[in-house]
Amino acid sequence: MNEMLEPGMIVRHPGAPEWGEGQVQSRIGDRITVNFLEAGKQVIDGKRVSLDIVWLQGN
């Protein structure tokens, strides 16, 4: 599902719900940079974690 991620989308990390919602900043290959409300900027390995989409940009 990470292949669908684009900058601006709002996501959650299923293994770290305490991070809150985050906005995708970039996705380069399997490296996804997300700015989370409670954890700041995090680089996620898309091979290991499938982020949950909260809403798509433009919705």
pLDDT in tens, 1-59: 799 999 999 999 999 999 999 999 999 999 999 999 999 999 999 999 999 999 865 55
Question: What's residue 34's pLDDT?
Answer: 98
SS3 string of the chain?
A: CHHHCCCCCEEECCCCHHHCCEEEEEEECCEEEEEECCCEEEEEECCCCCCEEEECCCC
Tell me the residue length of the chain: 59
Res 57: pLDDT: 59
The pLDDT of residue 55: 80
pLDDT of residue 37: 97
Q: What is the pLDDT of residue 30?
A: 96
